[in-house]
Amino acid sequence: MMACRGIAALLVCVVGVTAADLCLDCQEDTTTAEPVDLVLYYESMCPYCRTFITTQLYPTFTALPSGVLNVTIVPYGNARERQRNGTWEFACQHGSVECLGNLIATCALNYTSYTPSDYMPFINCMETSTVHGHELTALHKCAAANNMSEADLLTCVKNEDSGVLMHQMALTTENAKINFVPWIVVNGQHTTSIQNSAYRGLMSFVCKTYSGPKPTACKDVTDAPVIG
């Protein structure tokens, strides 16, 4: 708001539109503030992960202009890996169907060159629609809904090389020393306060954390619930 107050105020008097309308473009163009950096460690079938992705992360990510929230997701969670005869094998907390879900997500990340705006709609769709044991049905639906090639994603899933991609997720997750999922790291930090604030009211938390001019989407956000 601040950056355009002068000219906005003038125009408001003249044409009677709201300051927010006028500031929408200029504030997104002029800020040099760093985005809020969020890394989510999750596994495909964990209920709280699904809740966080579909009710907090995805809606917040889509509501904010680009450059405000930098999202990275790491679909591995509490899985375990071992290398056998040259190939990686994985065991997942919610069984082999969860490993498949993690792998589909990992292939979607690779398919979109790890570009959040390209993979998040697909990930949100998977977390919304997957019925336990019917991962490939969800893949079919979510690929079509997001103009991604189901065949390419399936090729990745069935390719032994996808184990190498998943192994990278394992290494990243091990480095983060997570204790549970979803595990939320913001600007390189994980604390109980950050975790709870982000989990319960991500929009409010990101709006407070972002140091640049507040985007319009932050205007109507009420304070996050008290954190414990």
Site of interaction with ligand NAG (CB under 6 A): 35, 37, 70, 72, 85, 110, 147, 156, 159, 161-162, 165
Residue 4 or 185 having the CB closest to ligand NAG: 185
CB of 223 to ligand NAG, least distance (A): 26
Q: How far is the CB of 166 from ligand NAG (least distance, A)?
A: 9
Closer to ligand NAG at the Cβ: 85 or 222?
85
- The answer to whether 126 touches 138, Cβ cutoff 8 Å, is yes
Nearer of residues 22 and 207 to ligand NAG, judged by Cβ: 207
CB of 9 to ligand NAG, least distance (A): 32
In degrees and rounded to multiples of 5, residue 68 shows phi and psi of: -100, -40
Q: What is the DSSP letter of 189?
A: B
Q: Who's near 10: CB < 8 A, 6+ residues apart?
A: none
**Residue whose Cβ sits closest to ligand NAG:** 156
Distances (CA, A) of 150 to 43, 55, 156, 213: 21, 25, 10, 40
| CB 164 within 8 Å of CB 63 | no
In angstroms, give the least distance from the CB of 139 to ligand NAG.
Answer: 14
Residue 71 pairs in a beta bridge with: 38
CA distance 175 to 198: 21
Rounded least distance, CB 34 to ligand NAG, Å: 6
